[in-house]
Structure 1
Amino acid sequence: MGPNHCARRSFGACRRDSSGPTAPDLLEFFHLRLGSSPLSTTGSLTLDNVDAWEGAVEQSPKLQLTRTILNHTDFRESLRQRSAVIADPHVFNTEIEFKTGPITSQKSSGRCWLFATTNVLRHSVMKKLDLDDFQLSQWDMAVNLVEVSFVPESTHSSLSSPLNSLLKTSCASMHSFSATSLFSPRQFFSIEEAINLTLRLHYHERDPRDTAKPDAPFTWDYYTKDGKPMSWTGTPKEFYAASPPADSFSLINDPRNEYSKLYTVDKLGNLWARALCSVHVNTEIENLKQAVIRQIKAGHPVFFGCDVGKCEERNMGLLDTDVFAYEAAFDISFGLSKADRLRMQESQMTHAMVITAVHLDGAGRPVRYKVENSWGPEPGNGGWFVMTDKWFEQFVYQVVVPKALAPKDLVAVFEGRNARSSGKSSPPMNAVSTNSPSEAMNGGSGRPGSDSRPVGVVKWIVVVAPSAA
C-alpha cells in the first residue's frame, strides 16, 4: 500500500467479529502503536492535551512548516504528490476497440449506478447502429431504456435531492398515520399502500412524455457517425431486445466474510416488502482484477463499484493511494486494512463507474485502469479518470462479469443460489443506502451536493427489461 493506507497492525488484531472493535480494544491498539497510554481515557479534550500537542509542534520544524502552509490552503492541493501525477499517465495498452461517447453527467443526483449501467449498455447499441454520440434515458431501476433525445431530462431527474426529501417525508407521514390508525375509524395504510401513494406524488411532478411506457411505440430519428440519416420505430421492450446485455452476475471483495460464498443484501435499503434481494459472490480481489482484464480483452466495458472519495484527486482524475502525502505532513500513520475499514464503517461503496481499458506490465499484471465517470467532462481528463492497481485492491468492492468470462467455480456458486444472509457484517454496498447529501459531498455517488441513492449495482442484470406488471 501507499503511505496513506499502509497497514502495519490493524484493529482487527484486537477483535475479529463483525461488531468491530470495542473501546478497550481501541485503547489497547493506541497503547501498542504509541508506546504509551492515551492522554485522555474518556475522550474529553483537556488542557493537558493542548499542551502536549503544542509542545510536539515546538519540537518539530516539519510540523511548524505544515502549520504555516496548511493554515491558509486546502491541504489536498498542497499535499498532492507530483510523483503520483507523473506515475499515472492516461496511457493504456489494452483497450476496448470501439469507443463510446459522450461523457455523461448525472448532475446533482445519486444515479451513478444507473449511469454506469446505461454506459455499459450503450456500447453494443452504438456499435450496432454505427453511432458516435448516444445516451440512454433512464427511469425506475432501468426498467425503461430509450434514447435521451426522445425523453430528455427533467429538472428533478438531475436534481433529485429536493424531491427525494419530500417523498421520504410523505412516505414516513403516511406510514406513521397508518400505525396510529390501527384502532381508530380512520383509514389504515399498509406500508405498500403508503409507498404507492407517495410515488403518485412523484408521478404528478413529471410530464407524461418523460415516462416512455414499455409497450408504447416511439420513433427515433438519428444520424450515424458518417452523417447518414436513419430512423427506428418500436417500443422500449423491442429496443432493449435488439441489444440485450450479457447474462452476468456480481462479484464482490469483502475480506471480512468467507470467500466463494453467495451473500445477499435484503432489499438493499428499500422499504418495499417484496423488493428484489441482490446477491453477490464474495471472492478474492485477484478474481475481480482478472474479470476486468478478460472483459476488456473481449471488447466489453466493465461495471464496477468503489469508494470513490478515498485518495481521489478529482480535478486531475486520479484514484491513487499515493496521491496525497498526509502521513508525512501530519506525522501520522494509518493502519487500517480493507476489512478493518469496513468493520469501522470508514469505507463503503459510494460510487459506480465503468472501466474501458487497462495497462498491463510485461508479465500481464494490471498497473492502472481507464475509468469512464458520469460527472461530466470537467473533472479528470475530459471526464476520464485513472485508477491505480493499488487503489483497486483497497477501494474497489464490486465487478459485474458475464458468466461466459467468469471462473466456472464462481459461476457455480452464483447458480447454486444458496445465499447467506449478510447479517451485521453486510456486503459493502449495503451502507450506501444510508448516505446523506452531506456525505455525498465528501465522495458520495453524485456530484457535490447530491443525494446518494443506493448503488443498486446488480439489479440491471435482473430487471433491465420492462417488467410485466
Structure 2
Amino acid sequence: MPTTPLTTDDLARLRKEFAADPTAKLLQNALTTAELKDVALDHDVVMTTDTTMSHQLDDWKATNQKQSGRCWLFAGLNLFRVGAAQKLNVKEFEFSQNYAMFFDKIERANYYLQAVIETADRPVDDRTVATLLEDCMGDGGQWNMFVAVIRKHGVVPKAAMPETISSEGTRQMNSSLRKILHTAARDIREAAPEARDEIVEKTLSTVWRALCLHLGTPPERFFWQWKDKDGEFHRDGEMTPQEFQQKYFAIDAEELVCLVHDPRATSAYGKTYTVDLLGNVVDAPQVVYLNVEIETMKKITADMIVGGTPVWFGCDVGQQMDRDRGIWDARLHDLESVYATALTLDKAARLDYHQTLMTHAMLFTGVDLVDGPDGGQVPRKWRVENSWGDEHADKGFYTMNDSWFDEYVFEIAAPKSMLSPELLAALDEEPTVLPAWDPMGALAR
C-alpha cells in the first residue's frame, strides 16, 4: 500500500512551478482549444514527407473494415487479392472478409471452450484463466490464425457472402457472443468432466445460430462468373470455397512465416516463440514467431516489394500518427517539448512497461529506396495500404517514414525462401512459450 500522500505544500509547489514556466500559459491556451495532435505536430516532418515511392505496387482501391477489428483478415485477404485480380483480369476485386470472419469466430468459440476445459481445475482468478475469460471473443488475430482459417475453410469472392450491418460493426454481436461463451465457461467449470463435451456441443450450436443471424449463412458452394476489364465474359460455374482458393491464390500462404522484432531482454534473436492459449483453429499448427533483428525484417520487406509482392505486417498503429495527412514518423508529435520532459523509453522498455503493443495489421505496398553509406540501397519511407476506407491519407494509402518502422512495426509475414539457413533451422526448434498475456499476442486481442 502506498504510504506517501500529497501534502498542501506539495500542491503549492506544483502550482508555483507551473505559474513560473514562461511557455506554460501559451501551451495551456493552445491545448484547451485545440487537440494535442495538432499542437504537438512537428511541421518540419510534415513538410519533408511526400507520398512518392521508388517502388510502388498498388493501383487498386483501399478497403474498409469499418467498425470492426478485422484488420488482420483484411490485410491477409488484401495480400492475396492482388494475384487474384491479375488472374481474373479485373481492376478491382475483394475476397469476402465476412466469410473469413464467420469461420474465425466459430473456430475461435471452439478453441475458447476447449481452453476452458483445459484450465477448469485452476481458480477463476488465476491470471491465465482471467486472460482467457477477458479475451473470449474479439475480432483480432495473427498471421498464423489467418492461415489456419483459410487453410480449413477456403475463401469466396465478396459477392458470395457480402457484408452485413454486424460484420461492419461487430460490437453488439461480439457482446452477445461473449455472454453465450461466458455462460458456457461457468457451466463447464461447474460440471463433471463427463458432462463438458455436451455443454460444448450445445454452445457451438448457439454460436453458429448467432453467427448465421448476424452475418448470414456461409456458402458451401457458389456459382462464379465475371466480366473482365476488357469486357470479356468468363464462367467457372459452381465452386467450393477451397476450390476457389486453390485456383485464385497466387501465393502459397503456407510458405509465409511470421517474423517478429521483439528486442526485450527476455527474448533472443534467431529463436522461436509462441503465446500460451493463442489461436483459433484447434487442429491447426500453433502460432509461432521467429524473432529477428529489425534490419533483417526491413530488408526482407523491401526485397519482397521490389520483387512484386505486398507484405502483411503488424504494428502499434496509433503511435506518432496523423490520420488525416496519412503520416507516421517516430518524431511526428513533439510531446517532450509540450510537457517539458524527456520520454526516454526505447522499444524494449515500451513493451516491458505496457506503453506499446501490436494493435493493427496492414499491408506494405511500396518502398522508397535511396543509396546508403555502404553503396547499397536503404529504405527512406514506406507506403501502406490501410483498411480504413479512402477518406484519409492518399485515398486510404499512408506514408510511413523509416524511423517509425524501427520503433512501432513488430511483425511481418515473410516467405521461407528469403530466410537465411540459420533462421530456417530455427523454425524447426521447439518454441519458447510466452504467457497468455504477453504483448506479442496483443494483435489477437
Is 166-175 or 134-143 further displaced after alignment? 134-143
What root-mean-square deviation, in Å, do the aligned CA atoms of Structure 1 and Structure 2 show?
2.4
**Cα pair distance change 1:207/1:55, threshold 3 Å:** closer
Q: Hey, what's the Cα distance between the residues in 2 that align with 1:195 and 1:249?
A: 33
1:431 aligns with 2:442: yes
Matched, 1:413 2:441: no
Q: Does 1:391 align with 2:404?
A: yes
Aligned to 1:226: 230
Is residue 2:125 matched to residue 1:121? no
Aligned counterparts of 1:83 and 1:108: Cα–Cα separation in 2: 33
Counterpart position of 2:49: 88
Letter paired with 1:375: W
2:136 alignment counterpart: none
Quickly say closer, same or farther: Cα 1:370–1:327, change in 2 above 3 A.
same
Report what 1:170 is aligned to.
180
Distance between the aligned counterparts of 2:384 and 2:5, measured in 1? Answer: 44
Alpha carbons of structure 1 residues 84 and 42: separation in structure 2 relative to 1, 3 Å: farther
Determine helix, strand or coil for the equivalent of 1:157: helix
Structure 2 match to 1:136: 95
Deviation at 1:277, TM superposition (A): 2.0
- Pairing 1:374–2:387 present: yes
* Pairwise CA distance, 1:333: 1.3
Q: 1:203, CA displacement in angstroms?
A: 3.4
Q: Is residue 301–residue 354 contact of structure 1 (8 Å, CA) maintained in 2?
A: yes
2:219 is the counterpart of 1:212: yes
In 2, Cα distance between equivalents of 1:117 and 1:410: 23
Distance 1:334 1:360 in 2: 30
1:228 CA displacement: 2.8
Aligned equivalents of 1:319 and 1:43: distance in 2?
A: 40
Written as runs of structure 1 = structure 2, the 5 A alignment for 1:279-298 is 279-298=288-307
Matched, 1:248 2:256: yes
Query: Quick check: 1:146–1:236 contact (8 Å CA) kept in 2?
Result: yes
Matched, 1:203 2:207: no
State the shift of 1:301 in Å: 0.4
Residue 53 of structure 1 corresponds to: 14
- Change in Cα spacing, 1:342 to 1:192, as seen in structure 2 (3 Å) is farther
Bigger CA drift: 55-64 or 361-370?
Answer: 55-64
Contact kept in structure 2, 1:221 and 1:232, CA below 8 Å: yes
8 Å CA contact 2:274, 2:286 repeated in 1: yes
Match of 1:330 in 2: 339
Give the % identical residues. 29
Contact 1:267 1:277 in 2 (8 A): no
Aligned counterparts of 2:362 and 2:215: Cα–Cα separation in 1: 29
- Is contact 1:174-1:189 (8 Å) kept? no
Letter matched to residue 231 of structure 2: G
Is the Cα contact below 8 Å between 1:106 and 1:375 reproduced in 2? yes
Instruction: Find the partner of 1:403 among 396, 405, 416.
Output: 416
- What residue identity is the alignment partner of 1:242? K
Q: Does 1:314 align with 2:326?
A: no
One-letter code aligned to 1:212: P
| Residue in 1 that maps onto 2:23 | 62
The Cα offsets for residues 254-275 of structure 1, whole Å up to 9 and x where unpaired, read as 01111100111233266x8666
Q: Which amino acid aligns with 1:357?
A: G
CA 1:248–1:181 in structure 2 vs 1: closer, same or farther (change >3 Å)? closer
Q: Which runs of 5+ in 1 are unaligned?
A: 1-22, 24-40, 434-453, 455-469
Superposition TM-score, scaled by structure 1 size: 0.76
TM-superposed CA distance for 1:207, in Å, is: 6.4
Give distance in 1, aligned partners of 2:443 and 2:10.
Answer: 35
What SS does structure 1 have at the residue aligned with 2:288? strand
* C-alpha separation in 1, matches of 2:344 and 2:395: 34
Offset of residue 46 of structure 1: 4.1
Residues 387, 376 of structure 1: alpha-carbon distance in 2 compared, 3 angstrom cutoff: same
For the residues of structure 2 that align with 1:232 and 1:44, how far apart are their CA atoms?
A: 74
Aligned length: 384
Counterpart residue number, 1:461 = none
How many angstroms does 1:395 deviate by?
Answer: 0.6
Distance change in 2, residues 1:50/1:171 (3 Å): same
Q: Determine whether 1:265 maps to 2:275.
A: yes
Displacement of 1:69: 1.1
- Cα–Cα, structure 1 residues 44 and 191, in superposed 2: closer, same or farther, change >3 Å? farther
